[in-house]
Structure 1
């Protein structure tokens, strides 16, 4: 029997990165669902106190969603997968492309 240790085929950090990416993707999804609910609530309770509260919440939720999206993009970039966290605006990127 060999005294050498065998290395796992998937390093622990890769598993942790995968879990982090999955968590962040779920958070972005949850923020999207919450924002849709807030928008629907604003329409449903327009002119009422609850509608005003929901309108106050929306900018903060959008900010938190964008931060989570950016973190997801950074995580994906560190894994070499790309595609997420590139922003939601239609502005040209640094290279001039949309």
Structure 2
């Protein structure tokens, strides 16, 4: 996330640790660190959630999971050579395995 006061606060950090989580923030004064994450959430909001109302939390969660599945497994990314993130990662792992052999 960004370095907003609410995210940097001792209380918020304590709650994260209580859940066994670690915060991930951009470097101080570097707004570009968070750009890929903001882009991801922006695509989700505009592509699947904007203007929609869900009857239940479960319906909203199912919609987010369906979109994330599409985004990671089927949506082609120009920055990844028109592969899905999963295809790109699988190719990267295969190349690492080949290089190690």
The TM-score range, normalised by the shorter chain, is: under 0.3
Q: Which has the larger radius of gyration?
A: 1
TM (norm. structure 2) is 0.27
Kindly indicate whether structure 1 or structure 2 has the higher relative contact order, using CA contacts under 8 Å at least 6 residues apart.
Answer: 1
TM (norm. structure 1) is 0.27
